[in-house]
Amino acid sequence: MTRIDAPAKARGTARYAADHAPQDAAIAGLICTRSAHSRVRLDATAALAVPGVLAVLGPQDDPGHSYCSNPHGGREDQQVFTAEGRFAGDVVGAVVAENRPALLAALDLVVVEEHPLPAVLDVDRALDPAAPPAHLGFPGNLVAELAFGATAEEAEAALAGAPYVFDDTFRLDAGPVGFLEPPAAVAQWIDGTCHLWSTTQCPQLVGPIVARLVGVGDDRVVLHPVPVGGGFGGKEEMHLEAAAALCSRAVGGRAVSLEASRHQVSRLRSRHAATVRVRTGVEPEGRFLVRVIDTTFDAGPHAFHSAEIAGNSIGAAFVLYRAPVRRGTGTVVATNHTPAGAFRGYGGEHALFAVESQINHIARTLGIDPIELRRRNMVTAGDEDPFWHWPIQSFSLDRCLDELAARRSRPPSADDGRRRGTGIAALVNVSSATGPLGRDRALARCTLAADGTVTIDCGVADLGQGGHAVLVAIAQEVLPGFTVRLATRDTASAPPDPGVFASRGVYLTGNAVHLTARRLREAIEDGQGSALVRAHPAAAEFADGRSVRWQDIGVHQAEAAFEAPDNALAAGAQLVEVAVDPVTGEVEVERVVSVHDIGRVLDQEGAAAQVHGGVVQGIGIALYERSVIDADGRTVTGGFFDHLVPTSVAVPPTEVVFVQARRHQASPTGAKGLGECPILGVAPAIASAIADATGARLHQLPMTGERVADALAARGHNLEWQKI
């Protein structure tokens, strides 16, 4: 498959959001708070005196009503330029200047007066009635409470009657999202319409929010999709679009480019910190009788995606395995930490770290092979989804486990003093956002030109995963021999599609393109009364030998929608081999096997690349990456030097395997989503491999060298280190 975005990216000519600023564009920068909670006042007198400074915006320029940066909707508890800073790094204003030197000088001269307010910096104490409010919109600092399945009384009774009960609590630190391209937006007002080029994953959802904030009709804000330099869910949110639009309007509609600095990125959003308690009642032969999973998520001071992430986390915890009694709860707490937002896995990485780590512990305790234990409890195609209650059309976890078992072996010993072990984990993920609020839907449009070229009109961004190339390949398969190209359309002219998230690209947008291409082909065939055999640049030859010009065909355009009846569950299983240094606690991942059921694989190389990237990201979450917050609530890990994102030397040999035992009947292409899957099983597999190597079970991410060394010391290992 040809990556249609590859040549421009290889040459450095691909135009990302910030590249769309015209030569005469002004440049803007954010003014942010330094304290965790404060009332804010700006003094811009000195900044406005700097030559080249065009405007300084502050809380007085805020539109005056709140919004939610989760574009799918939610509690509106955020301002564009706030007068109450609710976390260290909150946006209170912006400077607009002719050039960067003037901008930087002015940003240094803006006086930000912060009058301290009581801050909530302890999740465990946030729900104490005596705790101050992190945000007045959350009484008692409770953002959301969720419950699923059996009542508390039923769950406790089932646990009391189980022969074995395993009770484990797991913690995950907040961490960076880690995309290379910072959030950016270019805004320009032309004839009363605001045009935006931004890093959003969801342009069609962001446009109406910006329109409401700047006080114009929805048709007066037009977003132009551009390549996105990595998103991982962090750009599913609305970041800078409204601020850029207000900056542009403040300087007479002139184009303004607004980009967050790398240090500001780490303070604007993080991955969720969470605690997951898992209690499982088990029969002696390993059958699950009852599973109770209680989650607590630190939202920061805004709701954003947190309630939805808590719900998806509970779903991921329960979908993989059967149990007669199931109960899940989610508590979302407000604090004055950095706000937590969407991230690849959307809570699944929290739940599966806990669930899969505990299952491996159950297997070891009961003397059952961990793959066999999963077989005895896993859901299969034909079952009812235990969380959403849909029939499971396609789910080949059994085949994934077969492939994993065939590739499992003891790591080779080495005379380097390190201890080696193997761990596994299963995983599940969705392929759409179909849920209680309705069915996920995408519409596609294909146009046949007079020269025989078919154009796919596309309104969704490519995040670097090769999504646009897959859409072209889908259309080419339906229309063999045609020249197919893709044209990105702005929100004023693109067919409706909410964006790139929930691993929905191939299942939703891809199937919509497939149906549209098929409708176009049927229209051509029906118009000529014969089947199309092959195409030429300007004519088509039919089975009866006739050739026609495209100009003679009446139908030039087709549209079709695909509506997802379910979430098309994707299955997977992962194995890792690690080497643990018993002195320093350093963990090296030496081998990974990653097996996936994503239905029909449309792009083998692209899919394998997704897996490699997801595995590396999973290693970072498991071993290195965390957001360190000081006693004053400030995130002190501000850039890639601090985040310890894995480099090339940390990338292990990775074997990628795809299986398919049963086609998903609702998917015209036969494909399901892959994007988020590869990240999900890595951390629990590494944790189990560490336990296999050393006997030490770690319950907190990341499993840094210090934490591993402490766990070894607690077991009596690492005596030399203790002496030091």
What confidence tens digit (pLDDT) does each residue in 607-651 have? 999 999 999 999 999 999 999 999 999 999 888 888 788 988 889
Cα dihedral: 479, 482, 488, 494 (round 10): -50
Cα 490 to Cα 197, 209, 231, distances in angstroms: 10, 16, 19
**Model pLDDT, residue 436:** 76
Residue of 698, 426, 679 whose CA lies nearest to 587: 698
Dist CA 324 CA 560 (whole Å):
41
- When comparing pLDDT for 11 and 528, which is higher? 11
Dist CA 473 CA 477 (whole Å):
6
Which range among 97-111, 491-505, 512-526 shows the weakest confidence by mean pLDDT?
A: 512-526
Residue of 519, 537, 525, 447 whose CA lies nearest to 478: 519
- Angle of the 203-214 helix axis to the 241-250 helix axis, nearest 10: 40
CB within 8 Å of 656: residues ≥ 6 apart: 594, 596, 607, 608, 611, 612
Dist CA 185 CA 173 (whole Å):
30
Dist CA 496 CA 443 (whole Å):
6
Share of the chain above pLDDT 90, in %: 85
Residue type, 711: A
CB within 8 Å of 441: residues ≥ 6 apart: 496, 508, 561, 562, 563, 564
Dist CA 70 CA 269 (whole Å):
12
Cα 130 to Cα 117, 140, 143, 296, 301, distances in angstroms: 15, 9, 17, 19, 17
Dist CA 722 CA 717 (whole Å):
9
**Model pLDDT, residue 641:** 80
Residues across the chain: 724
Dist CA 687 CA 618 (whole Å):
12
**Model pLDDT, residue 621:** 97
- What would the pLDDT profile of 163-198 be if each residue is shown by its tens digit? 999 999 999 999 999 999 999 999 999 999 999 999
Residue of 555, 561, 466, 569 whose CA lies nearest to 514: 561
Which residues partner with 562 through β-bridges? 442
pTM of the model: 0.95
- The percent of the chain in helix, strand and coil, each rounded to the nearest 5, is 30, 25, 40
Max intra-chain CA distance, the chain:
89
- What would the pLDDT profile of 338-395 be if each residue is shown by its tens digit? 999 999 999 999 999 999 999 999 999 999 999 999 999 999 999 998 888 889 999 9
509, pLDDT greater than 60: yes
Dist CA 445 CA 561 (whole Å):
9
718, pLDDT greater than 90: no
Phi-psi region for residue 234, left (φ > 0), alpha (ψ -120 to 50) or beta? alpha
Share of the chain above pLDDT 70, in %: 95
Cα 305 to Cα 440, 604, 668, distances in angstroms: 17, 32, 31
715, pLDDT greater than 90: no
538, pLDDT greater than 50: no
Asked if 202 contacts 228 with a C-beta cutoff of 8 angstroms, the reply is no
Dist CA 91 CA 81 (whole Å):
6
What band does 537 get if pLDDT is binned at 50, 70 and 90?
Answer: very low
Residue of 46, 69, 112, 379 whose CA lies nearest to 240: 69
End-to-end CA, the chain: 56
CB within 8 Å of 448: residues ≥ 6 apart: 454, 520, 524, 550, 553, 555, 556, 557
Strands (E) located in 140-233: 142-149, 164-172, 184-190, 193-198, 221-223
> CB neighbours (10 Å) of residue 23?
5
**Model pLDDT, residue 551:** 53
Cα 639 to Cα 168, 174, 182, 262, distances in angstroms: 33, 15, 11, 6
By CB atoms closer than 10 A (0-12, 13-18, 19+), residue 263 is middle
Residue of 488, 516, 486, 24 whose CA lies nearest to 222: 488
- Tell me the two tokens of residue 145: 């409470």
What band does 542 get if pLDDT is binned at 50, 70 and 90?
Answer: very low
Looking from the CA of 257 toward its CB, the CA atoms found within 13 Å total 18
What band does 723 get if pLDDT is binned at 50, 70 and 90?
Answer: very low
81, pLDDT greater than 60: yes
Cα 154 to Cα 61, 325, 661, 663, distances in angstroms: 54, 8, 37, 37
Cα 151 to Cα 244, 265, 325, 329, distances in angstroms: 48, 41, 10, 10
CA angle 410/411/414 to nearest 5° reads 135
- When comparing pLDDT for 290 and 434, which is higher? 290
Arithmetic mean of pLDDT over the chain: 93
Which residues partner with 114 through β-bridges? 40
Asked if 643 contacts 176 with a C-beta cutoff of 8 angstroms, the reply is yes
- Tell me the two tokens of residue 497: 């599609």
- When comparing pLDDT for 724 and 110, which is higher? 110
Dist CA 135 CA 153 (whole Å):
33
Which residues partner with 425 through β-bridges? 574
Residue of 24, 443, 440 whose CA lies nearest to 248: 24
- Angle of the 682-694 helix axis to the 348-366 helix axis, nearest 10: 30
- Tell me the two tokens of residue 60: 């007085």
